[in-house]
Amino acid sequence: MREYELVIIGGGPAGLAAAVAAHEAGLRDILILERDNELGGILNQCIHNGFGLHTFKEELTGPEYAGRFIEQVKKLDIPYKLNTMVLDLAADKTVTAMNREDGLFQLHPKAVILAMGCRERPRGALSIPGCRPAGIYTAGTAQRLVNMEGYMPGRKVVILGSGDIGLIMARRMTLEGAQVQVVAELMPYSGGLKRNIVQCLDDYGIPLKLSHTVVDIEGKKRVEAVTIAQVDGKNRPIPGTEERYECDTLLLSCGLIPENELSRSAGVELNPVTNGPTVNESLETSIPGVFAAGNVLHVHDLVDYVSEEAGAAGRQAAGYIASGCQAGEHKALPIQCANGVRYTVPVAIRPEAAGDTVTLRFRVGNVYQNKKVAVYAGDACIFSRKRPVLAPGEMETVILKTSLLTDHPEADGITVTLEEA
Amino acid sequence: MVDIAIIGAGVSGCAIAREVSRYRADVLVLEREEDVCCGTSKANSAIVHAGYDAANGSLMARLNVEGSRMMPALSKQLDFPYENNGSLVVMVSEDDRPALNKLYENGVANGVEGLRIVERDELVKMEPNISDQAVAALYAPTGAIVCPFGLTFALAENAARNGVKFQFDTEVTGIEKMDGGWRLTTSQGDVEARVVVNAAGVYADRLHNMVSDDAMTITPRRGDYFLLDHAAQGHVHNTIFQLPGKFGKGVLVAPTVHGNIIVGPTAIDIEDKEGVATTQAGLDEVRAKCGLAVKDVPLRQTITSFAGLRAHEARHEFFIGEVQPGFVDCAGIESPGLSSAPAIGVMVSGIVRDILKLEENPDFEAKRKGILDPKGLDAEAHAALIRENPAYGAVICRCETVTEGEIIDAIRRVPGARSVDGVKRRVRAGMGRCQGGFCSPRVMEILARELGVDQSAITKAGAGSELIVGVNKDAI
Amino acid sequence: MEEKNLICINCPLGCPLTVTLEGGGVKAVTGNTCPRGEAYARKELTNPTRIVTSTVKVKGGMLAMASVKTAGDIPKGKIFDCVKAIQDIELPAPVTIGQVVLPDVCGTGVDIVATKNVPARG
């Protein structure tokens, strides 16, 4: 097995964008490892549109968006292996992978980009009581069956979770002939895009029940009914508010979790808030030469930002290899989150290693109105922007001019906070 | 007419089938579900109890200790996962000391080896996560854990290898005496047998009462459990029980042979013999109690919860014996049923052998090789395996690293997997943290291909649990 | 005079729009961040349209299904007719992004096009 300088784990939108960017930055020795039988990752099953407005100024479906990057990868002759599962990543960047043709093999790249995406939270992890029949699917698994295989997982559906995947599947199942009876959402607000409430629920008369959760599932062999109930301020079901729906399917859209098993086995430091690696301004993890981008780093709402982030990671990985794999000894400014900011990517910025700007992304922990996003270098406010609405379901981006940081050499930390407008 | 009909393909029925296959006889196992190991045997604590708990002098105590002694050698002979991790019954109040001593004495009287009381100092060294209230514990070095599916499949496959036939989706609805034996009315037609073994778990009372006026009542006793992610591995090493006492009866916290942590069970008596649904109250009860003996149980790492039913008879004893000429009960097999299974198999097969005066089967093959897990091979052997059979190079279940080669093996076994759950229990595909979210469509595809059916016919757990209801737009 | 509130669905921003209606027509639209929002509001209240995305079967391809979409928006009321119209289509592989799968679906003047490349099998 020949060696490669850069191995990219995952051939979805993040992996593809990272590969193209690394190539454009001059690196040639790249290998993408993808576990599925085609490139494109999760976009292959996201047949709805809404992708690419930022990147291509067009509204594309998932497969079309992926197709643009796949075309580039092929045009640039970037090597990739399909049906290949990476089993282990070691701290020294040794990649252990397996497929039918090559068997079990190891690679020893100079740099690695983690682009493994995320997985869905299953029923088991939600501890929903009741029976364990057939007919309970996470929304993504149902999406795969419907969109890739052409199989219907059910006919009478209840959905728990109003994140985008749940909303999209409400429409998808309806358009394939199923009856979606209700979408229940634990929080008092929906986690998905407002446009999806309109075009996935309102358009089809599907009710959305906020502050509700599933409290029971009936059916020994196949789902027969699902009971939902209203929840109180502590998310506990309120007795007496139960509503029983006869159905044969329960779809769960209750959270995405970055898939970091490989990161863990390598010993990469993870952020307990995101469950993704902590990275610096160069998207480099705690292991020099190991970079991360896309949903494995933090779950995104827009694939355009994934491509942007992954492009940066690709360029950084190429630069790291070109400069002889030097682990930088630059001063790092740790970033603190305050007043409703849940997490930031990156968690630290090294102004000397950064380019002209640093892209800072973050999420808030609640719905806020009429706030100001403010960034402080030490005690000095270096950035401020009014935001009429901030919501957990919408990732925020701040582009910071690096000079604003170098202007404040006395600062030993950065704070990202929300203030009254 | 067959010589022996065994009703029930749980761990008891399969253990009996395996032992009785040492003799020359026509043996048929009748199972109402679609596969082996679908009842209590698939939903329990997976513990091989040392045997200190059962009442001294009871059949339960005798068979528990015997089964516990037989298990290590059997696990090598039949190739199923077993680990002698030890167990601790933790006392959380000095007021309960007499009860702890009584348990120790009972264990010694039952013939359990190596039992001793450990005080807090030693206890904390053994288990750093033992609760702050833990005062002392009964330590049983012979306590162990096992894979309950692995054990049951191993027994079933070895029985089948030695001539036993299995018939699934067959519910026995009536039993009546006939010339030379018994006529069983089943959902798949009549079966005639010279001898019948009733190993029907929670339904054993129904079958018993069809032939005997000495009525038996089996109460399903539900146990709710949490199963924790591999990341929780190492939180405890021994199986930790809590001594019932001043603060009530606790739940156990134990490792599993597959590197998970299991927490539970409740003990809730119900009427429904199919009542395996967990309840909010049951799960909350486990949550509330698990911290008594072990601190900081990482319930946030829960990957699934489930419930199983124990076949509880009021006298809390095993009922094994010929209750009518040629009708042998193997009833009331609640905990320590799993632990006792090897000994139950020997006992019942002995009874049946004596009734029918069976001769030894000279072709009996005692050894069985389990489904190959490539993770146990060294690099060279692993590489050679994939070269010879590329299906072992295709990972299907990411979370548990299960390859297509293993799944195909699971399907081709006799008795083999014919459903997604059947695959799951044999090779663990779907038992990881994503709970089948990634692998189930792929497992369905492989099952359909191997069984030569359309994917719409693939079930989670037998007829009625189809995973696909149709094709796109077929209802528009 | 009447006021209606709607969410623009043109892009993921989802601007909340306020439309002032008078005499059966749209008098004013506010809340939009771009001109498409105003156009959307007018359309939504008079002749609502949608883009429809779906899948069709593929014959002899590396994949069983190909995703498709209406090349432009079609009247909202024709969504199910449109879905029915592609129900029995089986596209022979290879399928390329942009290829017309069904021209002028349900007389809307809009084509159904493929949004997925599916190479032929073998």
User: Residue C11: which pLDDT band, with cuts at 50, 70 and 90?
Assistant: confident
What is the residue whose two structure tokens read 């979805």?
A12
| pTM for the model | 0.96
Residues A110 and A6: beta-carbon distance below 8 Å? yes
Of all residues in chain A, the one with the smallest CA distance to B420 is A134
Mean of pLDDT values over A75-89? 98
Point out which residues pair with A417 in neighbouring strands.
Answer: A374
Alpha carbons B51 and B63: distance in angstroms, whole number: 9
Alpha carbons A198 and A205: distance in angstroms, whole number: 10
Cβ-based contacts under 8 A for chains B and C: 9
> CB–CB of B469 and A237 under 8 A?
no
Q: Which residues, at least 6 apart from B368, have a Cβ–Cβ distance to it below 8 Å?
A: B77, B78, B79, B154, B157, B158, B161
> CB–CB of A193 and C14 under 8 A?
yes
Alpha carbons C80 and C73: distance in angstroms, whole number: 14
Percent helix / strand / coil, chain A, rounded to 5 = 25, 35, 40
What's the complex ipTM? 0.95
Mean of pLDDT values over B327-355? 97
A130: nearest CB among B278, B390, B469: B278
> CB–CB of B473 and C80 under 8 A?
no
Q: Give the containing element (helix H, strand E) for A291.
A: strand A290-292
User: Residue A328: which pLDDT band, with cuts at 50, 70 and 90?
Assistant: confident
Choose, from B49, B235, B258, B312, the residue flagged as catalytic.
B49
C83 touches chain B (CB under 8 A): yes
Neighbors of chain A by Cβ distance (3+ pairs < 8 Å): B, C
C45 touches chain A (CB under 8 A): no
**How far lies A106's CA from each of A89, B17, B197, B212, in Å?**
10, 46, 54, 66
What are φ and ψ of residue B294, in 5° steps?
A: -130, 135
**What tens digit of pLDDT does each residue of C33-76 get?**
899 999 999 999 889 999 999 999 999 999 999 999 999 999 99
Cβ-based contacts under 8 A for chains A and B: 151
> CB–CB of A199 and C6 under 8 A?
no
Residue B248 has pLDDT above 80, yes or no: no
Mean pLDDT of chain B: 97
A314 touches chain B (CB under 8 A): no
**How far lies C43's CA from each of A50, B308, C14, C80, in Å?**
19, 58, 16, 20
Half-sphere exposure (Cβ direction) of A132: Cα atoms closer than 13 Å: 20
Residue B3 has pLDDT above 90, yes or no: yes
What are φ and ψ of residue C50, in 5° steps?
A: -145, 155
Distance (Å) from the C-alpha of residue B375 to the closest C-alpha of chain A? 11
Q: What does A356-415 look like in DSSP terms, one character per residue?
A: SEEEEEEEESS-EEEEEEEEEETTEEEEEEEEEEE-TTS-EEEEEEHHHHHT-TT---EE
Residue C24 has pLDDT above 80, yes or no: no
Mean of pLDDT values over A358-368? 95
Mean of pLDDT values over A322-326? 90
Distance (Å) from the C-alpha of residue B200 to the closest C-alpha of chain A? 19
Alpha carbons B396 and B392: distance in angstroms, whole number: 10
Q: DSSP state, B459?
A: B
Alpha carbons A82 and A15: distance in angstroms, whole number: 13
Cβ under 8 Å to A: B residues 89-118? none
Mean pLDDT of chain A: 96
Cβ under 8 Å to B: A residues 81-110? 83, 85, 87, 98-104
Of all residues in chain A, the one with the smallest CA distance to C67 is A47
User: Residue C122: which pLDDT band, with cuts at 50, 70 and 90?
Assistant: confident
Distance (Å) from the C-alpha of residue B442 to the closest C-alpha of chain C? 14
Alpha carbons A118 and A123: distance in angstroms, whole number: 16
**What tens digit of pLDDT does each residue of A48-66 get?**
999 999 999 999 999 999 9
C76 touches chain A (CB under 8 A): yes
User: Residue A416: which pLDDT band, with cuts at 50, 70 and 90?
Assistant: very high
What is the residue whose two structure tokens read 């979370």?
B399
Point out which residues pair with A179 in neighbouring strands.
Answer: A156
Task: Note the pLDDT of residue B53.
Answer: 95
**What tens digit of pLDDT does each residue of B258-296 get?**
999 999 999 999 999 999 999 999 999 999 999 999 999
Residue A196 has pLDDT above 90, yes or no: yes
Residue B49 bears catalytic tag: yes
Dihedral over alpha carbons B407, B408, B412, B414 (to 10 degrees)? -20
> CB–CB of C115 and A60 under 8 A?
yes
Max Cα–Cα distance, chain B, nearest Å? 71
Residue B249 has pLDDT above 80, yes or no: no
Distance (Å) from the C-alpha of residue C84 to the closest C-alpha of chain B? 7
Other CB atoms closer than 10 Å to residue B325's CB: what's the count?
Answer: 11
Is beta strand A270-271 parallel, antiparallel or unpaired with respect to A256-258? unpaired
Alpha carbons B42 and A88: distance in angstroms, whole number: 31
Alpha carbons B272 and C80: distance in angstroms, whole number: 44
A237 touches chain B (CB under 8 A): yes
Task: Note the pLDDT of residue A388.
Answer: 87
What is the residue whose two structure tokens read 């000994």?
B343
Residue A169 has pLDDT above 90, yes or no: yes
**How far lies B407's CA from each of A360, B389, B397, B403, B420, in Å?**
45, 13, 10, 7, 10
> CB–CB of B473 and C83 under 8 A?
yes
User: Residue B24: which pLDDT band, with cuts at 50, 70 and 90?
Assistant: very high
Neighbors of chain C by Cβ distance (3+ pairs < 8 Å): A, B
Higher pLDDT, C21 or C85: C85
- B contacts of A153 (beta carbons < 8 Å): 467-469
- Structure-token pair, residue B181: 């034996």
Alpha carbons A361 and A341: distance in angstroms, whole number: 11
**What tens digit of pLDDT does each residue of B198-221 get?**
999 999 999 999 999 999 999 999
Of all residues in chain A, the one with the smallest CA distance to C77 is A203
Task: Note the pLDDT of residue A231.
Answer: 98
> CB–CB of C55 and B472 under 8 A?
yes
> CB–CB of C83 and B476 under 8 A?
yes
User: Residue C12: which pLDDT band, with cuts at 50, 70 and 90?
Assistant: confident
